[in-house]
């Protein structure tokens, strides 16, 4: 091989390598973009103040929202911390996302308070929270088998909102 042929071969290899590196960078860039675009548009994992304006003043919580175990795209774990701590039940449960709405069901031993709401008898409720994943606005349906003072069972419905802390 002559010196001229050697230089042409070297230049061809250099051009080929440059093209391969550019193609590799493009594939890597496309791969990174695909992974990033697969991430949720808005991360929900955080702490939120649960605001239920039409319910007793001590029936409010801070929600710590984290990953479910095992992790699933349509599931978040809610740890509810009563605020203030004195008169509400702490709970932990999974909320599931379907058609843009999360649903969380929790059994609350003191969900319905009778008479004096601070010191009177309590009745267990099954509380179902349902909220829009984008607006963080929803409804709470609090159902009970028997009401206060022997009244029949029923369901109370309350609007609520989540405010990120």
Which pLDDT tens digit goes with each residue over 85-126? Answer: 667 789 999 999 999 999 999 999 988 989 887 788 999 999
Averaged pLDDT, 50-69: 86
110 token code pair: 């003191």
Closest by Cα among 163, 146, 18 to 83: 163
* Residue recorded with tokens 């909320």: 95
Band (60; pLDDT cuts 50, 70, 90): confident
pLDDT value at position 139? 99
119 token code pair: 């010191």
Alpha helix ranges (H) inside the chain: 3-38
Phi, psi of 61 (to 5 degrees): -140, 160
Averaged pLDDT, 152-161: 97
Q: What is the pTM of this model?
A: 0.72
**43 vs 91, higher pLDDT:** 91
pLDDT value at position 88? 79
Distances (CA, A) of 164 to 30, 49, 71, 121, 136: 33, 6, 22, 33, 9
pLDDT value at position 116? 82
Residue 115, helix vs strand vs coil? coil
pLDDT at position 154 over 70: yes
Instruction: Tell me the helix, strand and coil percentages in the chain, rounded to 5.
Output: 25, 45, 30
């Amino acid at each position: 091989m002559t010196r001229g042929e050697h230089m042409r071969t070297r230049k061809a290899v250099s051009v080929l390598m440059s093209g391969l590196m550019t193609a590799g960078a493009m594939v890597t860039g496309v791969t990174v973009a695909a992974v990033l675009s697969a991430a949720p548009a808005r991360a929900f994992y955080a702490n939120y103040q649960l605001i239920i304006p039409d319910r007793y003043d001590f029936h409010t919580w801070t929600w710590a929202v984290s990953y479910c175990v095992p992790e699933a795209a349509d599931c978040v774990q809610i740890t509810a911390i009563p605020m203030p701590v004195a008169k509400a039940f702490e709970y932990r449960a999974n909320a599931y996302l379907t058609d843009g709405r999360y649903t969380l069901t929790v059994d609350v031993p003191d969900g319905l308070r009778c008479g004096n709401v601070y010191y009177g008898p309590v009745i267990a409720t099954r509380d179902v929270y349902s909220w829009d994943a984008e607006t963080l606005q929803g409804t709470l349906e609090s159902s009970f088998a028997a009401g206060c003072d022997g009244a029949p069972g029923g369901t109370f419905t309350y609007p609520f909102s989540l405010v990120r802390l």
